[in-house]
Structure 1
Amino acid sequence: MSQPTGQTHIVLLNIHGLIRGHNLELGRDADTGGQTLYVLELAQALARHPQVSQVDLITRLVVDEQVSADYAQPIEVLNDKLRIVRIAAGPDEYLAKENLWDYLDVFADNLTHFFRGEQIWPDIIHSHYADGGYVGEHLANQLGIPLIHTGHSLGRVKRARLLASGLSSQAIDERYNMSRRIEAEETALATAERVITSTHQEIEEQYELYDYYQPEQMRVLPPGTDLQQFKPPSGEELHSALFHDLVKHLKHPDKPIILALSRPDARKNITALIEAFGQSEDLQQRANLVIIAGNRDDIDELEEGAQEVFHELLVAIDRYDLYGKVALPKHHQRDQVPFIYRIAAASHGVFVNPALTEPFGLTLIEAAASGLPIVATEDGGPRDIIGNCHNGLLINPLEPESISEAILRLLQDEAFADECIQNGLQGVRDHYSWDAHAERYLQLIRPIAERSEVLVRQPLQRRHELYRDRAIVTCLDQNLIGDASALHKLVSALRQNRKSTLFVVATGRRLDSALKLLKNFGLPEPDILITSSGTEIYYAPKLTADTAWARHIDHLWSPHQLRQILDHLPGLEKQPKHEQSRFKLSYYINPQVIDVEEVNRVLHQEEQSVHVQMSFGQYLDVLPLRASKGMALRYVANQWQIPLERIFVAGGSGADEDMMRGNALSAVVQNRHDEELSRLVDVERIYFAKQPFEAGILEALDYYDFFDRCHDPRETDKEPTSQFNDSGEEEL
């Protein structure tokens, strides 16, 4: 059969999950979430377009009493141009995506058979996720049909999140078939004519980790938004029961609402918004702050991370005496969210997203569609959104003044705020509606379907290693902020070797302080951040906290008892609150009054098992017994299965010493603090650089031939003394 002239037949591959044309079971399980909604709404939008003749959404046939009989229909017709086609592959029952890999070749063969029976071939195949990419690559290469691919999430990034949960590399591979998933992603990238992503950051920070990464192949095309659901206020919102419920604890409920809406997650940085509000009398005079942070009955019943967030929020409200000015509603329904946006818009308010990093920023699009001007973090997706819509201001999420100044401008300058509102409404229609998405999608794929545009592929090849096999670890203050020219060369070397080399920063600073320093000096975001003297570990690109490490070091940790002992010792003075953290008590120490040995003696007498360290001659940190930079580094090496012999460590103060001892290739930069690391002069595998800061790091990397042979030239070639056993644990 032939297609109507000038029209396009599109196949969307969404193999896993449960998908049907009505009443999507969103959140039923990990496989039936945002991706299924995205693909269905994309299919519906494309089917509405006059240049599209047919859309087939291809998924797996499921015959299982545990799920609806809807998923056992081989073909579900949604309208005259759109249908869901379900292909049998493997067992009848519903399977999680991790268990589908053995059946994907059968799926590809059965789908090819279906096309032959129809006697009509699609113009474009668009695969979604790694399993769809695997099938799409087979079909594209077998049938000669161009492939478009959307990854949604990537295996190498997911692996980092799973490592953060405490799973071993072996367990991740066995449970999630991670090596097969990553291989499928590589072959999809090698085959696809175009790869569609939601943001530029996704291209730069995630796809670049892949061997078949080709930036000229990538196109940013953000998902659409339902403009029937998210729309400007009608004027009745401020008389609603929901409005009165939201503002019932506010002294002056008629003021404009500064609205924030997110999970109670430390990365969302909501406390900084309260601090910005609390530090600005002008802001408090002009507006109220309403924070929607999930649902709760009892804070003590929430998981530990959420408890910490609410504790910080409540402490900040108390510190600035914001009672009656800030609302933290305990409950809201999912279907109330659009109305909450409209309430804030009707109050002439502002929507704020102060997250430390925001990969996409869907709430910003929803707020803009609801008639709100926006203030958002400059990190990630918000750059694209405000760049497209011109509907608000970007802020540095680590500077409360930046947040308050941006909000004040929108509250004070009515003409500017109104311009942002109108720009946002139009910008969402032009860039983030499903109809606009479908229009740009077709502009992208039609030249490919018509073979008038073909990707010119660069000669690329796979590495032997599936994962990165070496790491560079450095502290911050003594190593990375002293030589701008050398820093440029170091950053260039890190980028050139990013596929093979993890970049790790280990610092005594807290996460927010470390991020601020990295941003101020234009340093790239590390793959791993070890902060607060080794008590916290975070993984890029979403700053995912390693919860397994936190559980591990909590052993015998009694901070309240420690404070009672240390706060009264002469010669010790508590550092400011922003230097303290959950697993780190920080003091200034006067060595003329008390030394580290005396502190250790007192704590030992009080039966406190802790790790005490001093740096720069004046800073004393008390940590859990299992925590230090060196212990955190060895934990990371074990989790990522990188031998210590292939890890380079650069240090500059006494707090770095335990990272540098042992089997790692280490270097002391010339500008080390006093003689704190002088004891390492005679230690094997320690190189004392002749140059300071970044230049010293480059000198040492060259000395060790780190990116090639990766060895200490003072040693004869020999087998590494550490290796990993079958369980993924390091043997020394």
Structure 2
Amino acid sequence: MSELIKSVLKCDEKSDLRQFASELRSSEKRYLLRNDIERAFAEYCEEHQKPSYFYHSSYLGKLLYYTQEMILEDESICMIVRPKIASQEVYRIDEDLTVEPMTVQDLLDLRDRFVDRHHPSEGDVLELDFQPFYDYSPTIRDPKNIGKGVQFLNRYLSSKLFQDPRQWLEMLFEFLSLHSYNGLQLLINERIKNRRELSERVKEAIGFVSQRPDDDPFDNFRFDLQEIGFEPGWGNTAVRVRETLEILDELIDSPDDAVLESFISRIPMIFRVVLISVHGWFGQEGVLGRPDTGGQVVYVLDQARSLEKRLQQEFHDQGLDVLGVHPKVIILSRSIPEAEGTRCDERLEKVRGTDNGWILRVPFREFNPHVTQKWISRFEIWPYLETFVIDAETELLAEFKGKPDLIIGNYSDGNLVAFLMARRLNVTQCNIAHALEKSKYLFSNLYWQDLENQYHFSLQFTADLIAMNAANFVISSTYQEIVGTPDSIGQYESYACFTMPDLYHVVNGIELFSPKFNVVPPGVNEAVYFPYKRKEDRIPANAERLEEMLFTLDDPSQIYGNLDDPKKRPIFSMARLDRIKNLTGLAECFGQSPELQERCNLILIAGKLRTEDSTDSEEIAEIEKLYHIIDQYELQGKVRWLGVRLPKADSGEIYRVIADRKGVFVQPALFEAFGLTILEAMISGLPTFATQFGGPLEIIQDRVNGFYINPTNLEETADKILKFVSKCDEHPHYWEEISERAMERVYSAYTWKIHTTRLLSLAKIYGFWNYTSKENREDLLRYLEALFYLIFKPRAQGLLQAHYQR
């Protein structure tokens, strides 16, 4: 990138750079983000009548395209340039066009000065740097392989381990000897005494099972194999046992990373799984639409069901039925004593659709009952998590009758709990962020002190740093969640380098090229969300009831607005009312387009109708804003706003009812980490318009099976929807074409079976490598504990003291 700057300075464009910088200084804005830079340069090109190529193809245009931020000082400009994914360079350009590179520390000091919180003395700001802990771990080189961590780790560590056959066989023998369930030995027993005997006995066992019929049940020859040295876990039939032993035989004689992954995926390693989702109203009914609930609750419940189902299938295939082995999956959440008619105050609740899946709710300790008896916002939950871990550990050990084999954290608070619990129990930890708030709120770290009373970002961002570095592996729904796109920064990437003035500087917050990152998108509950064409699976009475509710029912208690013409094509959206979900932005988009109003109705399902029914400040503000927009654009008769909480079965049928009327689904979020509602709409057959900011970029293929929108550009969004509606009117089959492709897209890539098969495979392989590589993570974990006890905990105690005053 320094070459591109040199190219600008060596040609006539250096005068344009000087002029552009001068004009930027004349404006009031001193800190420009990428959108600001693009807009300002476009205005510069227009005002100075530059040729059309100049904006995109000139050296200066290319340099500004790669520039993510510009900070204007009195006599210089700081340019933060991102020449490629997961890479950042910083330069200071003085008025005389002298260019010098800046260090990360220089940049963080400059950002501090920008908010007037810079301390002139040196060494007075805590610097956090996690890079040394990754120096001795393998790292991915090519950015396009980020998110494929397990494949890289497998190849790297296999090549190292396989170089010493003696050590490799010793490790493999020890690893196979470890496995047991409730005191019952699995895989191999004491009759196989060492690595040499392992190789010999494997060949003997292959010869034995090869003589039996392929479908001969394992129970028929279980004790014969036991005499040779093999316990249950190899398979449920002769052919399955033979296949697994042949893979092991190949692994012993000619080890290969692909064969290793195939073998590890087949053996029983995981029996008890805990999914942690602490904040919000966690339940199976009456919670969706409440603050801090939504996609995450649906995700975790569906994941729990799918995990149990997948483990049951694995245990059957592995021949563990003879031992009566059954998986157990527990969702750990908090108990909310004032449950407002929900079941969130019940200690134990069976997960519907499972044999042994449970929601275990553990109460927060009662510090101030006016606070702890009620729901606590995800932004204020932090003081209660450490004691929650201590209490929940006792409950979990009792329910499992032992330790879990895998801990999966969800969201920032759940991931911090996962770290503390995995540390106490020495269990494999998996993190799933769902959304990292730092990316959703611009300048949230820079102005954290101004936002602290409302959002407590100092606690959240510190918790994120601890959990993401502690995790054995991290699951993201998309590639861009980790490192963004060529022109946007990823959620995890935003933690690589940032300042929280007066608190600390993060010089290197996370190794983006670490093999701990894996992209494993979620699926859709296919029992609830399925194509509108499957009439045989739909209940006509439910469809009729929901159709009436959506379009004609007069019920002021839960519905605002009556439609002048209910037969118009519906534009539908469903989300909670908060600023990021941006339903008010969609309403304003609709209000600004008389053409859309003429041809369509807007149907919104969005939380509550009245401010007095909410205790969430952001939701209250959005309710007031939505009423204002409806009045401002005179949308009465054109908009229906349903303040209802739907049972899951109804939420699936709602999409299909909209599809019956050839409607469209719009997801207008300002940022969306993934977008489960997008999958739900697409699998139902609804043509879907979704935000271009975040995960939808990897779900939808634009104009093939859906459409991208820029929710900040209301005119462009309205125009895209209008063009689609017009094309559908001109070509009646066009709606069906997009509908069919949307359904195909989900079934090919976004099912829970694909997700959980991959998740369990990852958990086993990372567990295997943690054992065999003897990776010493103690130094990293001690560093993280210091961060927890010296930064996080005192601030959490401060928040707790504030809660005492309520």
Higher relative contact order (Cα pairs below 8 Å, separated by 6+ residues): 2
Q: TM-score, normalised by structure 1?
A: 0.50
Structure number having the greater helix percentage:
2
Q: TM-score, normalised by structure 2?
A: 0.46
